[in-house]
Amino acid sequence: MILAGSDLSILITLLWTFLKVGALIFGGGYVMIPYVEDIVVNQHHWLTRQEFIDAIAAGQATPGPIVVSAAFIGYRVWGMVGGLLSLFAILIPSFVLLMLLVRKLSLFSKGRLAEFLRGMFPAAVGIIMAVAFNLGKTALVGLPQVAIAVVAFILLARLKVDPPWVIVGSGVVGVLLLQ
């Protein structure tokens, strides 16, 4: 396969974008959603805002939602090659870091690194809340969507129902109500 200049540029941009995301993920990856959205939706216009939200939502139904979303975005941008490239790019930094630190794992349990990670937790929570607010503005457009979100919150927060059941149930109810 011979790539034209613009195709190669797109693949390099996908690679670089998800290498950076993979290197900077903290707090489960949700803190990177605004960054990825800015690149994918605002800068390069690879996806619409709704398509981006759909990618994030689809990822939530799977283990590793941010990784799955990256693969979906890459697939939408450049087919199977883009999907695989984005998938590997987001995973590579973690594997490299783990290989480099495998003998130094005690660093994580004591000292300044542990203090730094404890300090990052509130920032990660704040960013995740901001992402939830922004996604909610787009996704909660009517009474049925709001009702599903409220019931899902109650099931998760109060009744402690396992998240996979809430995700599947919300999806089924959403499809049935919104047809």
- pTM higher than 0.85: no
**In whole angstroms, how far apart are CA 71 and each of 37, 38, 40, 64, 167?**
14, 17, 13, 11, 20
- The domain limits of the chain are 5-139, 141-179
Q: How far is residue 97 from each of residues 33, 42, 78, 138, measured CA to CA in Å?
A: 21, 30, 28, 36
Q: Find the DSSP H helices in 30-142.
A: 33-37, 49-60, 65-101, 112-139
Helices (H) and strands (E) in the chain, counts: 7, 0
- What does each of the 179 residues of the chain score in pLDDT, given as a tens digit? 445 567 889 999 999 999 999 888 766 677 888 889 999 999 999 999 989 988 888 887 777 788 888 999 999 999 999 999 999 999 898 888 777 776 666 555 566 767 777 787 787 778 778 878 877 887 888 899 899 999 999 999 999 999 889 988 998 998 888 76
Coil vs helix vs strand at 63: coil
